[in-house]
């Protein structure tokens, strides 16, 4: 399908310094000169968001959520305004807009707001006036609270997909890697770039740590049928197409992913009766925490439960757990920050038993102990010592020969 509008998203490393900002401006202008209506959305420069988070914590140990979002949203505004300036210098008209000016309406959940709707009138009007429109990524506005919200780490990917869906535009996500690879190319130098990947597999990859595309952006893309082209800011080569379905015959294993961003909670001496797990995951879920792997055992009549959550959700998890003490009594809570997760993803796993055994054997042969295991029809994840993650990723990539092109993709 041919589009007359394109949404081009550039991540933090692509706008890290003034020359890179000028480069991004040139890429946007080139697209305009090819006759397209161009919307750019950019992340904060380099590690700006990390710096702002650090600053907030230096001022306040538990920053107020509304003010935290007011603070974090400034990073993207800075980058956007600078790109617009650089475009003016190239002789094109451009206008930068905050998320709220661009009509990105979200729910009120600070730091992980969900986009509900885009009222893109201002964006469309500016496009009609022949301008390149820059929308600050990662942020929106809640009609319920009348406050600025942010979309969660990596959220500019979601801004891009939602804008593409609202405008009926092509969606190009530019970053410092030329696409989606069979493993993080920083860890596996001979990882292979995938030509295409299904939404289904990309969802599992993003959920298990491949931060090249934010999970929510892939969900939005699947729900709205937006085909994502993930590609490099610094070259013209074709990247990876994230789209419906894939090839006729899917490889058994498509990629190895990893995450070093999980903390495992172990709750001991909780009562072993119906409704306990429901209560715990009810309160944790209400605190907007995304729980991953869960294990429960019964030891001497009491239950022990372990589950993993993203590091940023640790304070919310503790708060939620403490609130159950009136009902569950004096159970103990332990946190383990020394584990990480390595996962195999592949739509072909459904019909091929034996992948798990080969994965466990490969890890065992390398002296790597498994702490927790979880599976879905197209994913197997193991929690292992965090220090072993790079080695595990490399060994699994080699064992499943992911560097070789599958025959049917040729």
Residues near Mg ion (CB under 5 A) are 11, 154
Q: Which residues pair with 117 in a beta bridge?
A: 105
Indicate the residue whose CB is closest to ligand ASP. 156
Q: Quote the CA–CA distance of 218 and 242 in Å, as a whole number.
A: 8
Q: For strands 379-385 and 372-376, give the pairing.
A: antiparallel
Nearer to ligand ASP, 41 or 306 (CB): 41
Examine residue 83 and tell whether it contacts ligand ADP (CB under 6 A).
Answer: no
Q: How far is the CB of 76 from ligand ASP (least distance, A)?
A: 6
Nearer to ligand ASP, 239 or 251 (CB): 239
Among residues 374, 408, 362, the alpha carbon closest in space to that of 291 is found at 374
- Residue 155 binding: pick among Mg ion, ligand ASP, ligand ADP, none (C-beta 5-8 Å cut-off by kind): ligand ASP
Examine residue 122 and tell whether it contacts ligand ADP (CB under 6 A).
Answer: no
Locate 115 and state its tokens. Answer: 């986009």
Q: How far is the CB of 92 from ligand ASP (least distance, A)?
A: 24
Nearer to ligand ADP, 5 or 233 (CB): 233
Q: Quote the CA–CA distance of 189 and 187 in Å, as a whole number.
A: 6
Q: How far is the CB of 45 from ligand ASP (least distance, A)?
A: 9
Examine residue 181 and tell whether it contacts ligand ADP (CB under 6 A).
Answer: yes
To the nearest 10°, report the CA torsion of 267, 273, 276, 277: 80
Q: Number of H helices and number of E strands within the chain?
A: 12, 20
Nearer to ligand ADP, 189 or 301 (CB): 189
Q: How far is the CB of 213 from Mg ion (least distance, A)?
A: 8
Q: How many residues make contact with ligand ADP (CB under 6 A)?
A: 19
Examine residue 12 and tell whether it contacts ligand ADP (CB under 6 A).
Answer: yes
Q: Quote the CA–CA distance of 285 and 279 in Å, as a whole number.
A: 10
Q: Quote the CA–CA distance of 22 and 34 in Å, as a whole number.
A: 19
Helix (H) or strand (E) holding 315: helix 314-322
Q: Quote the CA–CA distance of 222 and 242 in Å, as a whole number.
A: 9
- Residue 181 binding: pick among ligand ASP, ligand ADP, Mg ion, none (C-beta 5-8 Å cut-off by kind): ligand ADP
Examine residue 114 and tell whether it contacts ligand ADP (CB under 6 A).
Answer: no
- Residue 177 binding: pick among Mg ion, ligand ADP, ligand ASP, none (C-beta 5-8 Å cut-off by kind): ligand ADP
Locate 6 and state its tokens. Answer: 């394109």
The answer to whether the beta carbons of residues 83 and 134 sit under 8 Å apart is yes
Q: How far is the CB of 278 from ligand ADP (least distance, A)?
A: 35
Write the interaction track for ligand ADP spanning residues 192-231; mark x where CB under 6 A is met and - where it is not.
Answer: ------------------xxx-------------------
Q: Quote the CA–CA distance of 7 and 42 in Å, as a whole number.
A: 11
Q: Quote the CA–CA distance of 197 and 202 in Å, as a whole number.
A: 6
Examine residue 11 and tell whether it contacts ligand ADP (CB under 6 A).
Answer: yes
Measure CA 125 to chain center. Answer: 31
Nearer to ligand ASP, 39 or 303 (CB): 39
Q: For strands 262-271 and 255-259, give the pairing.
A: unpaired
Q: How far is the CB of 68 from ligand ASP (least distance, A)?
A: 13
Site for ligand ADP, rule CB under 6 A = 11-14, 43, 154, 175-177, 180-181, 183-186, 210-212, 255
């Amino acid at each position: 399908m041919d589009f007359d509008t394109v949404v081009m998203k550039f991540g933090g490393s692509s706008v890290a310094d003034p020359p890179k900002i000028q480069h991004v401006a040139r890429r946007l202008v080139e697209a305009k000169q090819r006759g397209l209506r161009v919307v750019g959305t950019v992340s904060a420069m380099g590690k700006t968001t990390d710096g702002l988070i650090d600053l907030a914590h230096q001022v306040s140990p538990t920053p107020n959520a509304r003010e935290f979002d007011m603070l974090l949203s400034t990073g993207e505004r800075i980058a956007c305004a600078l790109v617009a300036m650089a475009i003016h210098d190239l002789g094109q008209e451009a206008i930068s807009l905050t998320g709220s000016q661009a009509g990105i309406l979200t729910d009120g959940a600070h730091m992980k707001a969900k986009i509900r709707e885009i009222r893109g009138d201002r964006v469309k009007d500016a496009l009609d006036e022949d301008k390149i429109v820059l929308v600050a990524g990662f942020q929106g506005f809640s009609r319920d609270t009348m406050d600025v919200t942010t979309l969660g780490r990596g959220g500019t990917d979601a801004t891009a997909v939602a804008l593409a869906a609202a405008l009926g535009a092509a969606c190009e996500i530019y970053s410092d890697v030329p696409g989606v690879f069979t493993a993080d190319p920083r860890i596996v130098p001979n990882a292979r770039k995938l030509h295409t990947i299904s939404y289904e597999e990309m969802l599992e990859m993003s959920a298990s740590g491949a931060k090249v595309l934010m999970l929510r952006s892939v969900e939005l893309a699947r729900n709205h049928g937006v085909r994502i082209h993930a590609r490099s800011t610094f070259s013209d080569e074709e990247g990876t197409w994230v789209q419906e379905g894939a090839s006729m015959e899917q490889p058994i294993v498509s990629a190895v992913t990893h995450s070093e961003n999980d903390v495992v909670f172990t709750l001991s001496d909780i009562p072993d009766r119906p409704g306990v797990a429901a209560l715990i995951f009810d309160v944790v879920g209400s605190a907007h925490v995304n729980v991953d792997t869960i294990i429960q055992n019964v030891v001497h009549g009491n239950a022990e439960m372990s589950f993993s959550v993203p590091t940023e959700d640790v304070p919310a998890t503790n708060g939620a757990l403490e609130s159950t003490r009136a009902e569950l009594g004096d159970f103990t809570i332990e946190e383990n920050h020394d584990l990480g997760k390595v996962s195999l993803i592949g739509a072909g796993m459904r019909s091929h038993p034996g992948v798990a055994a080969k994965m466990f054997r490969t890890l065992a042969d390398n002296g790597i102990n498994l702490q927790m295991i979880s599976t879905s029809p197209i994913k197997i994840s193991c929690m292992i010592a965090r220090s072993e993650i790079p080695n595990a990723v490399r060994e699994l990539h080699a064992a499943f020969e992911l560097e070789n092109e599958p025959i049917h993709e040729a």
